[in-house]
Amino acid sequence: MVGAVAVGIAMVGAATVGVAMPGAAGMAIATRESWFSGSLPPRCWPPVWQSHRLPAMTEPSSETLARVEVLADLEPLVQRLMATHEAKRVLWFPSELLAPPPDTDPDAYVSELRERARGISTPARVALALNLLTEEGLPHFHRLLAVYLGGDTFWSKWTNLWTAEEDRHGAVLHDYARDSGVLDNPVLERMQFEYLRAGFEPEWDRDPYRVFVYTTLQERATQVSHANTGKLAGEHEPLIGTVLNNVAREEARHYIFYRSVFKEVIRRDPDRALVSAAELMPSIDMPGVNMPHFREMADVIRRAGIYGPRDYLKIVEEQIRYWAIDKVEGLNDIGRKAQETIMAVPKRLERVADAMETRSRAKSFIFDVAFAREFRMS
Ligand SMILES: [Fe+2]
Ligand SMILES: [Fe+2]
């Protein structure tokens, strides 16, 4: 999933969640009772909505329940999107992408790979390390999806498929790093250990809609980061270009899934959907923020033109267009306020990007994971 998202911007005053709102007018949404009924026993309530997560309450808030009901009603859409997703997917595996061509001596193949990889620049190696480690945060993200969408609901079919696909991303990059010798692997493994041990708890306020806003933005960000890293590193070593191209294409398909789900959420429950989007879009919690040396690594990838605030700006603008935020009608006061907040985000992001570029000065970096080779970037 998620790539390096180096955009740390203070939240603007988005409308707060927790105010009672009318249900989605005219929509036949599942009721709380229907979620309990049929084949879904009460224990199927995703843990995030269970009272033990809400010490001051005996049951989830009405706002959370309303969102749960909308998501419980999306099974046909999810089935359709998953069928389309799987029909278009090319199910590659790490050992296939990295295997020597037939009739090639495997040892000679790896030696030649190592020789080519020597030409990969240090900033490109840092980007590769950051992308790899972010992919290896998968346990954090699987947990978040399982907690917010439920382990025993139909959503788990998607969560499990998505996890199985994502698991190959970290694996192929690890295998590439080992075969090519492009990174200091013992350092890399320790960083991964620290990253997983540190945990990742974005402030989603028990709001399951934010899952889809976040994953939409992050899958797109990851796609950009992998694709651009592949271009930079692939100049000297084409195999990493091919690997990252395959990973990026898969992120693009995940992005399509998540943004399509959220588009339907907006259609069914526009006020709450816009409130959730307004909470996240100005600034997303960086997935690798608890990773050792994250900020310096993110600074390198910005300076290398791989991913930075201007890319995040483009991604936000793209979602505003795709979700047609400005055209959502029939909103209540809170929904309208959220709509205004979202529409103001691009200008704010532009100012942030301008300020960051103006302030930026040439700087030297050194990372153990890239063999402690000092390099300077403008
Ligand atoms: Fe992904
Ligand atoms: Fe991924």
User: What does the pLDDT average to over 215-234?
Assistant: 97
User: What is d(CA 311, CA 227) in angstroms, rounded to the nearest whole number?
Assistant: 13
Q: How far is the CA of 223 from the centre of ligand 1 (A)?
A: 8
pLDDT beyond 90 at 287: no
Looking at every residue in the chain, the average pLDDT score rounds to: 86
Q: Is the pLDDT of residue 236 over 50?
A: yes
pLDDT of residue 81: 97
What would the mean pLDDT of 183-205 be, rounded to a whole number? 95
Distance of alpha carbon 351 from alpha carbon 145, whole angstroms = 33
* DSSP conformational letter for 265: H
**Region 234-242 average pLDDT:** 96
Around ion ligand 2, residues with a beta carbon closer than 5 Å are 1, 135, 166, 169
User: Terminal CA-to-CA distance of the chain, rounded, Å?
Assistant: 29
Ligand in nearest proximity to the CA of 255 = 1
User: In angstroms, what is the span from residue 250 Cα to ligand 2's centroid?
Assistant: 7
Q: Pick the ligand that lies closest to the CA of residue 134.
A: 2
The second-level CATH assignment, the architecture, of 32-377 is: Orthogonal Bundle (1.10)
Residues 143-169 as b or e (16 or more Cβ within 10 Å = b): bbbbbbbbbebbbbebbeebbebbebb
Q: Which residue has the higher pLDDT, 206 or 27?
A: 206
Among the listed ranges 24-38, 71-85, 330-344, which one has the minimum average pLDDT value? 24-38
Q: Report the pLDDT value the prediction gives residue 5, as an integer from 0 to 100.
A: 37
What pTM was computed for the model? 0.86
Q: How far apart, in whole angstroms, are the C-alpha atoms of residue 51 and residue 290?
A: 28
Return the structure tokens found at 90: 């090319």
The string of pLDDT tens digits covering residues 150-173 is: 888 899 999 999 999 999 999 999
Q: Do 63 and 18 form a contact (C-beta atoms < 8 A)? A: yes
Asked if 68 contacts 49 with a C-beta cutoff of 8 angstroms, the reply is yes
**210 CA from centroid of ligand 1 (Å):** 16
Domains of the chain, by residue range, sit at 32-377
Rounded Cα distance between 363 and 358, Å, is 14
- CA–chain centroid gap for 330, Å, is 30
- For residue 375, which phi and psi values (nearest 5 degrees)? -145, 155
31-62 core/surface letters (b: 16 or more CB in 10 A; e: else): ebeebeeeebeeebbbebbeeeeeeeeeebbe
The pLDDT tens digits for 7-47 are 322 222 222 222 222 222 222 233 333 332 233 333 344 55
Q: Which pLDDT does position 152 carry in this prediction?
A: 85
DSSP 198-264: H------TT-THHHHHHHHHHHHHHHHHHHHHHHHHHTT-HHHHHHHHHHHHHHHHHHHHHHHHHHH
CB-based contacts of 277, cutoff 8 Å, min separation 6: 209, 213, 262, 323, 325, 338, 342
Q: Which ligand is nearest to the CA of 220?
A: 1
* Gap from CA of 219 to ligand 2 centroid (Å): 8
CA of 108 to the centre of ligand 2 (A): 30
Q: Which of 60-64, 185-189, 273-277 has the lowest mean pLDDT?
A: 60-64
Taking a C-beta distance cutoff of 8 angstroms, is the pair 209, 273 a contact?
yes
Q: Which two tokens stand for residue 250?
A: 């898969």
pLDDT at 49: 52
Nearest residue to 303 (alpha-carbon basis) of 1, 2, 3, 6: 6
